[in-house]
Chain A
Amino acid sequence: MKQLLCTCPFVPVEWIFAHGFICKRSVPFFKNLGSVESMGCCPLAQAFLDEIISTRLPAIFSSTCDQMRRAADVAKAKGLNVFIINVPTTISEESVKYFRSELLRLSLWLESLGGKRPTNKELRACIEKFNDARSLVLDSQPYVSGSFFMNSVMNLAAETETGIIKKKNCVFGSDQATRVPLAILGGHTSQAHFGLINEIEKAGGRIVLNALSFGNRVLIPKIIIGENEDIVYGIAKHYMENIRDVFMRPNDRFYSWLTKEIKTKKVKGAILATHVWCDLWRGEIQTMKEILKIPLLDITFGTESFPLNQTINRCQSFLEMMQ
């Protein structure tokens, strides 16, 4: 299988996989943000751009935020091999059709990279494969660490090959009842999120609901497409109807899902961990406070790859408050 880079969880991974590509999820370290060096640029978008430059892998950007859209423009202008896919922000019959057309365009690009347009049978097999992978990952969540879970979501394709259950790391199996059930919220996942989740677990918390870009909110329900249905349309529709992200307009679907999950998983507190200049998520702080009705800790990462001491202290205090 060939590799390509893609950070957006709403570009159907089964569609890419069916063309013979594995989506390498980029969760970069912020080493040398040299691509733009500009105040106001999202550090993740910069780091993603730097990763494309350093790996020279083809990459897919999506239009779900202005920062990534602009980073994609810079990548194109630099002559890098990137594809920019429009993921609509509104749901209608027309926008689903438009997303379908974008998937077909993506197919041509993948073919130009040496990929092969799948037959319906191959595509259906891929859909099944990823349906199973998502179920496996979701089922494993209570038994694995937060970082392990996030890694599994990132590498869905690999999980289907090896079987996640075999890799279960049961460190959290015994003391779950005593840990504070928390939710982590935010946009694109970074290394700092991994570090933060580890620190939360060290302090006696447990992420039972991961609403980052590689967490529960992107583990969409099973894709079921009827025998005579247009499969690409079916994928487009299913994805669009199950995007649980703040960029959708309006974004009530995200909150419906979130409040339901918080209730089901008995979440006691939420940590919103976003990156500086991420307006789409930062603009939701007040709404989250009003809707979630549980304690909310607001953390902003800069360009650090590991959470700073003061961030860890705040998390510890937050947990102490709820223990």
Chain B
Amino acid sequence: MISNACKFDLVSADLAFDSLRSSQKNLSWYIRPLGEYLRNDNDLILQEIDFDNSWASIWLWNFLLSENERLRSARNKGEKIIGCMKDLGTIPVMAYSLENVRAFYPDGTWWTPCVMKLSDGLFFVSTTQGCDISFCPVRAMLGAFINEEHFPIPDLLICSTGAVCDDFSAISQRLYWLGYDIKWWEVPRRRCAEFHEESVELPSGLIVPRIQVDFIKSELKRVFKILRNFSRSADSDIRLLSDGIRKANQIRRMIMHLRNLIFSSRRCPLPALEELIMEMMATHFCSDREECLLILKALTEEVERRISLGQSVLSEDCPKVYLVNPVSDIRMMNLIEDCGLRVCGTDFMFTHALELIPEDIDPFDALARMVLSDPMVGPAEDRCKHIIREALKYRVDAVVIVRIPGASHCAWECKSMSEKLKAILRIPVLDVEVPTLVDSIESTLKSRLEAISEIVHASKSI
């Protein structure tokens, strides 16, 4: 059944499930009505959000919500589970180059307290470990390692360190003392190449010193050696990695194409929440590279169909906003749209996972360059430049900077980014903290978002 694009709630989604499914062939085993995640996994937030009404989006949600179950199933089939931590986008490319290995980010548990509306008790567990409310919501990961009720405990943990946020670094160290054997690898703070230094241009256009690329390259080689012990792949490092990079790029290309379609079309073909989930798949393919590709194809077809039919999930005159940082409560994505705004540009802290990895150079060198492209390992000024480029490209009317409570980087960079973006783009910039559950500040958030909408409308009517 093909219907007009719109958003619907969980009850409507489940009612429509059978008719949406009827036209699909070869359904994956994990696909089910979304209400089952509410009933079986206590994903309470699902009752309070609006979903995109396409089959592709229902599939996307299933893919996301079934991740822990899929990882357990892979382990039962004899695959090794690799927990990648913090780097958001590079180690999984290496891991998925190998057979018999499945990589994911335990970091993703930071959304669990939101999805389960705190019924998971993860924050409580992490507090007993000394990681209290002054830490960012990623402390939920610590709780999940301890109570073992969420993701399967990985066979190997690989964590980036150096230029990373203190919250994560401290939590990973606590895990080490709890007995987890973590393999750390170092990422230095990115800096510009100085005049006397040999330099390298990153895919993002930044010029960095060769010495930094070489240092990370040596770290990645060390990590790959460890990974290879977990796989039976017999091919050479270069051949395996080159193939892995090519496949990762296939996904990155599709995500970038979709992003571009969604953000540049006249009408909004996909809601912001589904767009966020779609982008997140770039980091580790949501634990299944092949399935990820199929979902992206389905989403692309749906988005292209909607664009060709002129369908939209929002009204046409919504002011466009650029969203900086991932939201701690996913309902914020709905809220932005409920307040009459349309998300047309995003920096969810992993923009480097969306960029194409160079395929014409040594694969370790290429991956080292991607590591250095991470917006979080360099100065906020570089991040700002990227945001400005995209904001101009998608002609946004405002920027919404979302602060993550307790995150060391947000406290420093959000204010400076806000000032810079205001000065250069000359558009309204809203800098707001979004807690794990927005309930208590929903009306305040709403007023502030509506104010942005009103300001933009007013300025356009002058």
Beyond A63-B163, A250-B182, whether A282 also contacts B170 by CB under 8 A is yes
**A-contact bits for B343-361, CB 8 A (1 contact / 0 none):** 0000000000000000000
**B-contact bits for A53-90, CB 8 A (1 contact / 0 none):** 00000000001011101110110110000001010111
User: In the assembled complex, which residues on chain A have CB atoms less than 8 Å from the CB atom of B164?
Assistant: 66
Identify B161's interface contact among A38, A249, A282, A286, CB under 8 A: A249
Q: B415 to A36, Cβ gap below 8 A? A: yes
A-B contact pairs, 6 of them (CB 8 A): A63-B162, A66-B409, A70-B412, A86-B188, A283-B131, A283-B135
User: In the assembled complex, which residues on chain A have CB atoms less than 8 Å from the CB atom of B409?
Assistant: 66, 70
Q: B184 to A290, Cβ gap below 8 A? A: no
Q: How far, in angstroms, from A67 to B407 measured CA to CA in the complex?
A: 10
Beyond A69-B189, A73-B380, A285-B130, whether A277 also contacts B170 by CB under 8 A is no
Distance (Å) between the CB of B247 and the closest chain A CB?
Answer: 29
| A147, CB-defined interface residue at 8 Å | no
User: In the assembled complex, which residues on chain A have CB atoms less than 8 Å from the CB atom of B117?
Assistant: none
| B411, CB-defined interface residue at 8 Å | yes
**A-contact bits for B180-202, CB 8 A (1 contact / 0 none):** 00101110110100101000000
Q: A36 to B173, Cβ gap below 8 A? A: no
Known contacts A251-B173, A282-B170, A283-B170; 13 further A-B pairs (Cβ under 8 A): A70-B411, A86-B189, A89-B169, A101-B211, A105-B194, A108-B194, A277-B411, A280-B170, A282-B131, A282-B132, A282-B134, A283-B173, A285-B130
Q: A70 to B174, Cβ gap below 8 A? A: no
| B29, CB-defined interface residue at 8 Å | no
| A162, CB-defined interface residue at 8 Å | no
Which residues of A, 87-102, contact B by the 8 Å Cβ criterion?
A: 88-90, 94-95, 98, 101
**B-contact bits for A242-257, CB 8 A (1 contact / 0 none):** 0000110111000000
Which residues of A, 275-309, contact B by the 8 Å Cβ criterion?
A: 276-280, 282-287, 290-291
Q: B408 to A88, Cβ gap below 8 A? A: no
User: In the assembled complex, which residues on chain B have CB atoms less than 8 Å from the CB atom of A250?
Assistant: 173, 176, 182, 184
Q: Which residue of the partner chain B has the closest CB to A285? A: B130
Closest 9 pairs (CB-CB, A-B): A283-B170, A40-B411, A70-B412, A285-B130, A279-B166, A286-B130, A73-B379, A66-B166, A249-B184
| B406, CB-defined interface residue at 8 Å | yes
| B99, CB-defined interface residue at 8 Å | no
Q: How far, in angstroms, from A280 to B167 measured CA to CA in the complex?
A: 7
User: In the assembled complex, which residues on chain A have CB atoms less than 8 Å from the CB atom of B413?
Assistant: 70, 73
Identify B381's interface contact among A77, A98, A284, CB under 8 A: A77
Q: How far, in angstroms, from A284 to B175 measured CA to CA in the complex?
A: 11
Q: Which residues of A contact B (CB under 8 A)?
A: 36-42, 63, 65-67, 69-71, 73-74, 76-77, 84, 86, 88-90, 94-95, 98, 101, 105, 108, 246-247, 249-251, 276-280, 282-287, 290-291
User: In the assembled complex, which residues on chain B have CB atoms less than 8 Å from the CB atom of A71?
Assistant: 412
Q: A74 to B135, Cβ gap below 8 A? A: no
Q: How far, in angstroms, from A280 to B165 measured CA to CA in the complex?
A: 10
Q: B173 to A279, Cβ gap below 8 A? A: no
Beyond A70-B380, A94-B219, whether A39 also contacts B174 by CB under 8 A is no
User: In the assembled complex, which residues on chain A have CB atoms less than 8 Å from the CB atom of B68?
Assistant: none
User: In the assembled complex, which residues on chain B have CB atoms less than 8 Å from the CB atom of A95?
Assistant: 186, 215
Identify A41's interface contact among B135, B161, B191, B412, CB under 8 A: B412
| B60, CB-defined interface residue at 8 Å | no
Identify B186's interface contact among A37, A67, A89, CB under 8 A: A89
User: In the assembled complex, which residues on chain B have CB atoms less than 8 Å from the CB atom of A283?
Assistant: 130-131, 135, 166-167, 169-171, 173-174
Q: A249 to B416, Cβ gap below 8 A? A: no
Q: B129 to A286, Cβ gap below 8 A? A: yes
Q: How far, in angstroms, from A264 to B455 measured CA to CA in the complex?
A: 67
Distance (Å) between the CB of B169 and the closest chain A CB?
Answer: 7
Identify B215's interface contact among A98, A278, A287, CB under 8 A: A98
User: In the assembled complex, which residues on chain B have CB atoms less than 8 Å from the CB atom of A101?
Assistant: 211
Q: A69 to B163, Cβ gap below 8 A? A: yes
Q: A94 to B411, Cβ gap below 8 A? A: no
Distance (Å) between the CB of A255 and the closest chain B CB?
Answer: 9
Q: B415 to A63, Cβ gap below 8 A? A: no
Q: Which residues of B contact A (CB under 8 A)?
A: 128-132, 134-135, 159, 161-167, 169-174, 176-177, 182, 184-186, 188-189, 191, 194, 196, 211, 215, 218-219, 379-381, 403, 406-416, 420, 433
Q: How far, in angstroms, from A37 to B412 measured CA to CA in the complex?
A: 9
Q: A98 to B211, Cβ gap below 8 A? A: yes
Distance (Å) between the CB of B420 and the closest chain A CB?
Answer: 8
Q: A284 to B215, Cβ gap below 8 A? A: no
Q: B188 to A88, Cβ gap below 8 A? A: yes
Q: How far, in angstroms, from A84 to B381 measured CA to CA in the complex?
A: 15
Q: Which residue of the partner chain B has the closest CB to A287? A: B177
Q: Which residue of the partner chain A has the closest CB to B380? A: A73
Q: B177 to A73, Cβ gap below 8 A? A: no
Q: How far, in angstroms, from A278 to B191 measured CA to CA in the complex?
A: 24
Residue of B159, B172, B211, B412 ringed by the most chain A CB atoms within 10 A? B412
Distance (Å) between the CB of B351 and the closest chain A CB?
Answer: 17
Beyond A74-B412, A108-B196, A286-B129, whether A98 also contacts B188 by CB under 8 A is yes
User: In the assembled complex, which residues on chain B have CB atoms less than 8 Å from the CB atom of A108?
Assistant: 194, 196
User: In the assembled complex, which residues on chain B have CB atoms less than 8 Å from the CB atom of A280?
Assistant: 166, 169-170
User: In the assembled complex, which residues on chain A have CB atoms less than 8 Å from the CB atom of B128?
Assistant: 286
Q: B130 to A282, Cβ gap below 8 A? A: yes
Distance (Å) between the CB of A71 and the closest chain B CB?
Answer: 7
Q: How far, in angstroms, from A82 to B420 measured CA to CA in the complex?
A: 20
User: In the assembled complex, which residues on chain B have CB atoms less than 8 Å from the CB atom of A86?
Assistant: 162-163, 188-189
Residue of B129, B169, B379, B408 ringed by the most chain A CB atoms within 10 A? B408
Q: B379 to A77, Cβ gap below 8 A? A: yes
User: In the assembled complex, which residues on chain B have CB atoms less than 8 Å from the CB atom of A74?
Assistant: 412, 416
User: In the assembled complex, which residues on chain B have CB atoms less than 8 Å from the CB atom of A65?
Assistant: 166, 408
Q: Which residue of the partner chain A has the closest CB to B406? A: A40
User: In the assembled complex, which residues on chain A have CB atoms less than 8 Å from the CB atom of B215?
Assistant: 94-95, 98
User: In the assembled complex, which residues on chain A have CB atoms less than 8 Å from the CB atom of B188?
Assistant: 63, 86, 88, 98
Q: How far, in angstroms, from A305 to B164 measured CA to CA in the complex?
A: 29
User: In the assembled complex, which residues on chain A have CB atoms less than 8 Å from the CB atom of B408?
Assistant: 40, 42, 65-67, 70, 277, 279
Distance (Å) between the CB of B412 and the closest chain A CB?
Answer: 3
Q: Which residue of the partner chain B has the closest CB to A63? A: B189
User: In the assembled complex, which residues on chain A have CB atoms less than 8 Å from the CB atom of B174?
Assistant: 283-284, 286-287
Beyond A89-B161, A105-B194, whether A36 also contacts B412 by CB under 8 A is yes
Q: B380 to A88, Cβ gap below 8 A? A: no
Distance (Å) between the CB of B26 and the closest chain A CB?
Answer: 45
Distance (Å) between the CB of B197 and the closest chain A CB?
Answer: 8
Q: Which residue of the partner chain B has the closest CB to A37? A: B415
Q: How far, in angstroms, from A90 to B172 measured CA to CA in the complex?
A: 14
Q: B415 to A38, Cβ gap below 8 A? A: yes
User: In the assembled complex, which residues on chain B have CB atoms less than 8 Å from the CB atom of A246?
Assistant: 173
